[in-house]
Structure formats: structure tokens, C-alpha cells
Amino acid sequence: MKIPYYPGCTLKTKAKDLEDSAIAAAKVLGVEMEELPQWNCCGTVYSLSTDDLIHQIGPIRNLIRAKEQGSDRLVTLCSMCYNTLKRANEFFLADEEKRDRINRYMDEEMDYAGDVTVVHLLEILRDEIGMDKVKAAVKKPLTGLKVSPYYGCMLLRPASIGIDDMERPTVMEDLLRALGAEVIDDPYKTECCGAYQTVNRKDVVVTCVHSILTSAQGNGAEVVALSCPLCDFNLDNRQKDIQQAYAGFHTMPVLYFTQLMAIAFDLDESVCRFELSSQDPRPLLKSKGLIA
Amino acid sequence: MKIRLSRDRVRGEFVKRVEMISGQDLLQCYQCGKCSAGCPAAFEMDILPSHVIRLAQMGQGEELAKANSYWICLSCQTCTVRCPRGVDIAKIMEALRLVTLRQKNRNKVEATALPMELLVELPQIAIVSNLRKMSG
Ligand code: SF4
Ligand code: SF4
């Protein structure tokens, strides 16, 4: 299956580990993610005001790029891109007058009708590939690895665009089980990491992430799995700041769900780009016999 | 806190602006407090989300101008999806940010003031999302 793919900015730099591992792991399952030949930043956050049409144009332009590829679907990996693109499309569909205004404003593009469906890779795995097929592709089961899935906000809220039940999602759990991991159920899995406060109110992020990670650890997790580069920065890189704020805090590795897929599919370790992690996951993975 | 109520305020410009930008009917809120109970950033807010809505209903723009709540808000949407009255609180928080940011020179974070080491450390997604929320 070929599907146009929207990477978003961070996947080309600090979250290359998400992009490389995802493309390689999806390929094993017969999903060819083809990057749009042309795309722009989605804006990272969906505009929450009724009258701010200019910030809807960035995401809508990317949906038009998918149309130009002859597709009515677009796949994303970054949770924030997913949310922004999907909500912008919803906004566009809901209001005919605003739709016309946006179309009139974008005079270089074809008119857009709101007919591109934004999907997240996790949805494709669940709804189109199926977890049985994922399981069949596993060569090195993640046996004995205690993984706590972390969804954060943008994959789930609001319900109209969420990929799963917003209070009790299970798609990552099902995937991790198919990969052979031991899944840790953690009540903080849908709690916000502190998001963009990481720029000017790092202390807020430190408090939020400390609660999330100590809860996961208290439930027995050795590693957290996620899908968003902003969550990843806050949960992984900000552990240094947590150590300073909370004596006795133990660090732990944080991985993208796609890196865990790549390991379980026994792909070349280079696609995981472990060197981009702040908390090196390699000692744990080695101790479990999952990497050499 | 002393609050002056009057018809002029409750039907005033501030209420109209917040309702227009957010697309929400403030009087839908019946003050159950569920939004505040689940807010992951409430620990750092000087006024809880449900109290922010109450002050907004009463047209207390000056009180709200002093609050840090909507600058601390993470736009996580937890309040929005749980409100039994269907109030999109995250949109009201955004409207309150915009009421300030749409005035001249009222940015909360200035892109040009961010130190170089921080810009190097942060992923683009953090910088862009922060500036989208904290500057006009
Ligand atoms: S959850 Fe809704 S009804 Fe309850 S206090 Fe918050 S805004 Fe008001
Ligand atoms: S969107 Fe803002 S106010 Fe609502 S729960 Fe999240 S942080 Fe709290």
C-alpha cells in the first residue's frame, strides 16, 4: 500500500529517529510512506479561535498537496501534525463561508473541498494491517521489556478527531503486545507533558513529566513509548532538569513506538537513530538481548 | 476578591469579544468545577479554569488581565472534552490570550529574546508552538 506522507519539520531534524524507524518498520508491513514532494509547516498547534483563518491555511495547503498526488489520504507520524491537519480539515468542512474565503485567498492552489482524510500510522496498523500481521512480522519479540505507552493529548483529543477512546485508549497497548512486550498500564498515559511551556516555563514541564514518569516507574515500567516529538523532548531531554529538581529521581529511556517496531522486526539498528536520545536506551535494550 | 457586577459588564464589550473569538456561550457553564479538577496545569494557575470562566461570565476583564491561568494553560483539551455542558474551555483560554496579544507590544514571549543555547537545544515543534501561543 502506498500512501502520501507528511513528515512535519521536527521529523527532519531532532526527531529523525521517529521518521527513519517508522518508514523502515512500515515497509516491512507493506506500507510505503511516500513523502509529499512539497510541504510546509502545519503550524504545530491548531488555531482555537473562530476568526483566525490565516493559521488554517498552512495545514490546508498540505492537504491540497496530498490531493495533487492524486490521493484522498495523508499519513502522519507526529501527534501534533496529526491533530493540526485533522482539525483544520474539520474546521474547513464545518463552515461553508469560511471555506470559500480560504479558497479565494489561496489563489495559487486548486480549490479544496475538505476531502482528504488524515490518518496516523497507528490507525493504519490497527485498522488496515491488523495486529495479527504485525505479530507475524516480529523476528525478535520484545520479551520481558516492560513498556508503558504514553499517548499525551494530541492523538486523542477532541474525540471527533481522536484515534482511540480518549480516556482509555488501547491501540498502543495492542501494538506493544503484538511486538511481544510486557505492557504496563499507567493512569498518566493521557496526561499532558507540559507541551510548549518547555520554552519559557520549563518548571511546569518538570512537574508534569515528573508525575508521569514516576507513575510509570511505580507501575513497573522500564521504558516509555510515544509518538510525539514534543512529548519526547519533554519526557526524555527534560529528565536532566527533573534530576535537579527532584533528588532521588531515576532516569529512564523514552522511545518512539516505531523504534520498538524496528527492534522487534530485527531491522538494522541504524534506522533507530538511538544517538538522538538524551537518555540512552541502548544499555537497557542490550541487557534484554534486544540489540547487540 | 471584590467583584462589581452590573448589567453593563455582563453584557459588555469584554464578554462579547471573548465569546466572539472563542465561539463559546459563556453562560452555558454551570460552575461544576470538572474542568479545574482535571486540569494538569492547575497547580501553577493563580485562578482555576472554572473560576476563569466565572469571571469571564461576569465581564471581569480587569481581574482576568492580571491572571496567569491562560498563559500557563497547555491547550491539552482535557477540560474541553470533559465539560458536561459542552463548553470548549481551551478555546476560551485561547480567546483570553488573544485579547491581550491582539494589542500592541503585549507578547508574553519575544522570539528575539530567546537565548541562542535554548534555540539550539529545543526542537522546532517547541519553538513554533510556544510562539503561536505566546506572541501575536
Ligand atoms: S466543566 Fe464546564 S460546566 Fe463545569 S465548571 Fe468547567 S466550564 Fe463550567
Ligand atoms: S486546556 Fe488548559 S485549562 Fe484546559 S485542562 Fe488543559 S491546561 Fe487546563
Probe target for ligand 2 pocket from A154, A192, A207, with the most ligand atoms within 8 Å of CB = A192
Cα(A34)–Cα(A44) distance, integer angstroms: 21
Contact A232, A256 (CB under 8 A): yes
A153 & A241 share domain? yes
Atom of ligand 2 at shortest distance to CA of B38?
A: 5
Looking at the structure, tell me whether residues A96 and A185 fall in a common domain.
no
Based on its alpha-carbon atoms, the radius of gyration of chain B, rounded to whole angstroms, reads 16
Task: Delimit the domains of chain B by residue range.
Answer: 7-103, 107-136
CB-CB under 8 Å, B108 with A44: no
Instruction: Give the integer Cα–Cα distance in Å for A40 and A58.
Output: 7
* Distances from the Cα of A243 to the Cα of A15, A142, A249, A250, angstroms: 23, 28, 6, 8
Q: How many domains does chain A have?
A: 2
Q: Are residues A152 and A283 in the same domain?
A: yes
Residues A128-185: tens digit of each pLDDT: 999 999 999 999 999 999 999 999 999 999 999 999 999 999 999 999 999 999 999 9
So what's the pLDDT on residue B95?
A: 98
> Which residues in chain B have Cβ-Cβ distances shorter than 8 Å to A159?
81
Nearest by CB: A49 against B44, B94, B109 = B94
Amino acid found at A214? T
- Is the bond leading into A37 cis (omega within 30 degrees of zero)? no
A270 in any annotated domain: yes
* Four-residue CA torsion sign, B102, B104, B109, B111: positive
Q: Which is it for strands A146-149 and A117-120: parallel, antiparallel or unpaired?
A: unpaired
Bridge partners (DSSP) of residue A4 are A34
CATH number at residue A14: 1.20.1050.140
User: Is CATH 1.20.1560.10 the right assignment for the domain spanning B7-103?
Assistant: no
Q: Is residue A226 part of a domain?
A: yes
For residue B116, the tally of other CB atoms under 10 A from its CB is: 7
One digit per residue, the tens of pLDDT, for chain B of length 136 reads 778 888 989 889 999 999 999 999 999 999 999 999 999 999 999 999 999 999 999 999 999 999 999 999 999 999 999 999 999 999 999 999 999 999 999 999 999 999 999 999 999 999 999 999 999 9
Residue type present at position A211: S
Give the closest of A55, A166, A199 to B126, CB-based.
Answer: A199
Residue A43 lies in a domain: yes
ipTM associated with this complex = 0.96
A111: containing domain? 2-121
Asked if pLDDT for residue A17 goes beyond 90, the answer is: yes
Q: How far is CA A102 from CA A42, A69, A99, A288, in A?
A: 15, 21, 5, 53
Q: In this structure, are residues A100 and A29 in contact, taking their beta carbons and an 8 Å threshold?
A: no
Same domain, A7 and A102: yes
Q: Does the C-beta of B48 come closer than 6 Å to ligand 2?
A: no
Report residue B85 as a C-alpha cell.
Answer: 455542558
Contact check, Cβ <8 Å, A157/B23 = no
In sequence order, the 6+-apart residues with CB closer than 8 A to the CB of A57 are A102, A105, A106
Look up the pTM and report it: 0.97
* Polymer length in residues for chain B: 136
Determine, yes or no, domain membership for A134.
Answer: no
